[in-house]
Amino acid sequence: MKQAGCKRVGFGVESGNQAVLDSIKKQQTVEEVRRAFRWAKAAGLQTMGFFIFGLPADTAETMDDTIRLALELDPTWRIS
């Protein structure tokens, strides 16, 4: 992708809690998200992550998991 001119990639992470991801049938694991970010960064791509708070299975604890994952992933692009 980088060789074709791609500079940035965004990932629909949604949640940092596996049970919440499973409840919305996301069909991805938190570890796959971590791996995707690592690979994109290693390829020299800028990264963005999209997260959702207030999903049906969310609790204060699962939303804390999402915040922790977002900080861990350290995306290049942040909107505050």
Residue-by-residue pLDDT tens, the chain, 80 positions: 888 999 999 999 999 999 999 999 999 999 999 999 999 999 999 999 999 999 999 999 999 999 999 999 999 987 75
φ, ψ at 66 (rounded to 5°): -65, -45
Q: How many CB atoms lie within 10 A of CB 23?
A: 15
Q: What global pTM score does this model have?
A: 0.91
Q: How many helices (H) and strands (E) does the chain have?
A: 3, 2
Residue 65, both tokens: 């998991």
33 close to 11: Cβ distance less than 8 angstroms: yes
